[in-house]
Amino acid sequence: MQQENDVQHVFLVGAKSLGAYGGYETFVYKLTEHHQNKKNIKYHVACKANGDGYMDETKLEGVTRINDHEFEFHNAHCFKIDVPQIGAAQAIYYDIAALNICCKYIKEHGIKHPIVYIMACRIGPFAAYFHKKIHKLGGRVYLNPDGHEWMRAKWSAPIRKYWKISEQLMVKYCDLAVCDSVNIEKYIHKCYDGKGIRKKNPNTTFIAYGADLTLSKLSDDDEKLTNWYLEKGLTKKEYYLVVGRFVPENSFEVMIREFMCSKSKKDFAIITNVNDKFLNELEEKLHFKSDRRIKFVGTVYDQELLKKIRENAYAYFHGHTVGGTNPSLIEALGSTDLNLLVDVGFNKEVAEDCALYWSRKPGSLAELIDKADNMSNEEIAKLGEKAKKRVAEEYTWDKICSMYAEIFANEN
């Protein structure tokens, strides 16, 4: 029988829920799913009880409810936190509240050598306090520094400055930074090696995000798919696709503008959670509603349906300019043959020569769309094979979760 002292308790802080849109949410779902039968790791997962992206466990199968704010899922202990609606500060409140609950739980249950894994660099001014508190409890602090949050266009200048300072402090007060991109790991060392922020180099390791390579269970004539196509006015292999959060740094303006400038007879399907303010700004600039090819088709939470929509796309756009290994890019490489990516280091690191690249300069993407429209089936299939091979070798969830199991097990 497994002794309690042999169990490594890992507290995951920073995801809003399990399995919703978002890299961290997908990561937490997959990590707990792959490790649910591991006797030597016990996960404790913080979730939001209310507000944007909140956890609704009633939509998941296999949940064991403990009370209003606690449940078990994938053999993980999940706890929900009520968050006041205080604008941008609610994310900071959420992380601090989650860490306080973690510390209380560790103390009350006498947990030896816990790992507290914090995702994103939101709470830098409080990093030293929690680092000291967790160390006093015999624990260690791991950090996923995410991408360059301070570069995101949605933030004002003062908030960007906060993010940058917060990142510096989070890197300083962590025992290990787990970077999901080689470029992010290089950036951490370039910025923070021996520059007063820390007397020694930050301790880092690289573990990417994963992707599910299995094909959709849906057939092309499945009613769920055909009804969706009918409702959205789309046809198999006759649409370009993008799936992602509707924010400026994901290049939506560039993609829509360039598609409107292209000669393509195909549609451009945009699967996203529409932000009305940003949408209205784009309409004022681009007048895209006059172009019937541009189709905002809402969100798709059914994973099998989403997978099939990706598989049936003629090509996939990826315009993310901020961040590390992006889950939606890996998923696209694993399911869509032809991928057109914005030319930044993060994307090239992942896709290498398995995709085509465009810059954000006017004309670049429109030219590439026209070129893509004229590619032969053989050329497209060849790129698809290379992309799937790349993902299968480097980005499977089996591989990523095994790497996490190693770094967590080494702590015990």
CATH of domain 4-210+397-409: 3.40.50.2000
Please report, for residues 254, 288, 353, the alpha-carbon distance to residue 250 in angstroms, rounded to integers and kept in the order given. 9, 17, 21
- Distance, in Å, from the CA atom of 261 to the CA atom of 269, rounded to the nearest integer, reads 16
The tens place of each residue's pLDDT in the chain, 412 residues long, gives 344 568 999 999 999 998 765 778 889 999 999 999 999 999 999 999 998 888 989 888 899 999 999 999 999 999 999 999 888 789 899 999 999 999 999 999 999 999 999 999 999 999 999 999 999 999 999 999 976 555 565 566 777 788 888 999 999 999 999 998 888 898 888 888 765 554 457 899 999 988 878 899 999 999 999 999 999 999 999 999 999 888 888 899 999 999 999 999 999 999 998 888 899 999 999 999 999 999 999 988 788 999 999 999 999 999 988 766 777 899 899 999 999 999 988 899 899 999 999 999 999 999 999 999 999 999 999 999 999 999 999 999 999 999 999 999 876 5
- Distance, in Å, from the CA atom of 274 to the CA atom of 242, rounded to the nearest integer, reads 13
Which residue, among 123, 121, 323, has the nearest Cα to 208 in the 3D structure? 323
The secondary structure of residue 41, as a DSSP letter, is: E
User: Where do the domains of the chain lie?
Assistant: 4-210+397-409, 223-394
Number of Cβ atoms within 10 Å of the Cβ of 292? 8
Residue 55: exposed, middle, or buried by beta-carbon count in 10 A (0-12, 13-18, 19+)?
buried
Angle of helix 364-373 versus helix 252-261 axis, rounded to 10: 60
The beta strands (E) that lie in 138-250 are given as: 140-144, 176-179, 204-206, 239-243
Q: Tell whether domain 223-394 is in CATH 3.40.50.2000.
A: yes
**Which residues, 6+ apart, have CB-to-CB distance to 160 below 8 Å?**
150, 151, 152
What letter represents residue 334's amino acid? G
Q: Tell me the per-residue pLDDT of 315-346, one tens digit each, with 9 for 90 and over.
A: 999 998 876 677 789 989 999 999 999 998 88
The beta strands (E) that lie in 64-139 are given as: 64-67, 70-73, 76-81, 115-119
Helix (H) or strand (E) holding 44: strand 41-48
Token match 């930044």: residue? 344
Number of Cβ atoms within 10 Å of the Cβ of 247? 17
Please report, for residues 107, 116, 138, 303, 340, the alpha-carbon distance to residue 110 in angstroms, rounded to integers and kept in the order given. 5, 15, 10, 39, 51
Taking the model in full, what pTM does it have?
0.81
Please report, for residues 15, 69, 122, 213, 397, the alpha-carbon distance to residue 207 in angstroms, rounded to integers and kept in the order given. 17, 31, 21, 18, 11
The beta strands (E) that lie in 58-139 are given as: 64-67, 70-73, 76-81, 115-119
- Distance, in Å, from the CA atom of 179 to the CA atom of 346, rounded to the nearest integer, reads 12
